[in-house]
Structure 1
Amino acid sequence: MTAPLVTILDDEPEIRQILTDVLEDAGFRTQAFSRAREFEASLKRVTPDVCLVDLSLPDTDGLALVHRLALEQGASVIIISGRAQVQDRVTGLELGADDYITKPFEPAEVVARVRARLRDGTKVVQPGGNTAVFNGWIAHFDRYVLEDETGTESPFSHAEGEVLRLFLESPKRLISRAQMQEMLGGGAGESFDRAMDVRISRLRTKLKEDPKNPRLIKTIYGAGYIFLGEVEWR
């Protein structure tokens, strides 16, 4: 079985070397890049399992890159950044990152976070395949797109897909914030809650829900959420 591939994008040679060494010692394959242009070119040839991305890059806006990765590649993205403000963490998660690690970091923590993302990616097993049909919609988790009754497709990010899959795996069951944090991973507290609010809001928009009276993703105030659709897995 081929070892998971982790790509590293950081303009500091010492950081790239530390991450390469610790991840390869842990059994992962790695590719390291100092520039976003080289990193994005590599994505056309190979799809990594996890991307480690610094925000302070010399040739592009790191947050914009994270958003493209999550939306277009469906990649699992962990930000590693010296920006330690809560707002930076919230923004990164809102744009589609799956986790956020601040510098300086413990190399062993990075390995643990990468392993957690890989576990999360396989934790929820679809009963019959990678496609869910519900209430006139088709969710293609292999391509990260939603298809409506007319065949029109709209993309969703890896992070949004995790939330949608969680709902589709547990229809008509209350899912609390604590359960979401446990199953989806990431830091607890304000940044996680804000990220979930944004992801659920975006899913409702893509599902053409009335924000004042959503039919599918219901908020149970003080308790969590319930997905009310009928779901068939293929």
Structure 2
Amino acid sequence: MKTLFCFTALAGILGLVILDCGAPMDPVGGLHSNGGSNSITRAGKPATGCRTIQDGGLMDSAGNPLTLGFDQFGYNYQAHEFNGTYDSVDRVLDGKYWGQTGDYVDDRLRMKWSDDWLSNKDCTGDGKLDRDGASGISKGWLTNQVEGDYVDASGNLQHYTYFVKIVWVGLGGSLWGQYEVIQEVNNDPAGGYHGLQFKAAAPGFGLNDHWTQQ
């Protein structure tokens, strides 16, 4: 059975929390770009009032300019997608995940998110990609898809896949205080997991009509 512990943070809502890697991830250094006012001043604000990645002047969490397409770490902010590894989530290719080591570091991780979770525009003028406009809170939905290998207690190499959907539901959610897991799929035969583990009664990507329509 694959047992992992990871550090993850939800920017603008929570401090650092520790979650099992089976829980959905929103890495603060990944899905939330971090730029300064200087970059906005140099480029000038577009006439539309919103800056896009194509316009230039937006930065990632390490201070690098955001560009179209996938970057070297696996982030494609324009397409609302990450396709990389746990190692590359923190935007430092050092064989670690936020400074932590483990056999999961090279496991494949793919994330997709809605525009309300993290937009591909800056309409607030702070040099960052917006999370639900000025609220700074990730709403909408996020999915995680993980695939990797591990060595079991008998020394045998095992393979696993994991998938989860989460949605914003407002205050009172059981995950991070404002979110809910609505579907979880775990395929880890050696660990005794075979397929769908949980699915909420709500259809689509949400527990209310607004997110279900996206």
TM-score bin (small chain): 0.3 to 0.5
Could you say which structure has the higher helix fraction? 1
> In proportion to residue count, which structure has more strand?
2
With structure 2 as the length reference, what TM-score do the two structures score?
0.32
Question: Structure 1 length normalisation: TM-score?
Answer: 0.30
